[in-house]
Amino acid sequence: MKKILRNIFFSLFLLSLILSPTKVQALADRESKDMPYNKATCDLRMAERRLWIDHVLWTRSFIVSDLASLEDKGDVLERLLRNQDDIGNSIKPYYGEDAGNKLAKLLREHIELAGQVVDSAKSGNKADLEKYNKLWYNNADQIADFLSSANPNYSNETLKDMLHKHLDFVTAQAVARLNKDWKADINAFDKGEDHMIMFADIIVDGIIKQFPQKFK
């Protein structure tokens, strides 16, 4: 039964890659070319990249701990959730306390749903897997909606594409580890990390465009 569920999980992942258009190469080609280059912009870019790299690093650590039922699972989850608060705090200088807390809340839900997706796949519960996977992607859309409503420089469609692709890479890691395909797991993580750096740059570019007076 678990093998069947893993195959279903993998099929969902492949289908999402086919149906979800990505703009990764286009985004890489245009990365920050028109942005001012000074200490303020560099500091923001480095800070956001660090936060989103931590996001994928601690997500991976949690997947490893969860699937292997390691004793550090609770501590890793606590650190991962702190990262979501840190990301929310990073936008408060631009959008205020409430907005930062709202983003942190959405990102915490993102992590909680990821855990439920992984647990469902691990236990072989097909109904829960489909339910939580749908909620997970809906949450990604809510994050994109929130960010694009706060900043007109963000394309809602692009943010959704990027966040869906992030979920795809997380899914690929979980599937690979369930199947003991360690090379595929490593490959998915590497690609996911590069992808999240590009996402961080989208966030930074939008902030600089919206608040140019803060980066002179």
Asked whether residue 210 is domain-assigned, the answer is yes
Look at residue 155 and tell me if it is in a domain: yes
pLDDT digits (tens, 9 = 90+) for 117-137: 999 999 999 999 999 999 999
Domain of 168 in residue numbering reads as 2-12+51-215
Residue 107 lies inside a defined structural domain of this protein: yes
Whole-number pLDDT of residue 216: 83
Query: Which residues of the chain fall short of a pLDDT of 70?
Result: 1-34
- Structurally, how many domains does the chain consist of? 1
pTM of the full structure: 0.84
Q: Find out whether 120 and 112 touch, Cβ atoms under 8 Å.
A: no
30 in any annotated domain: no
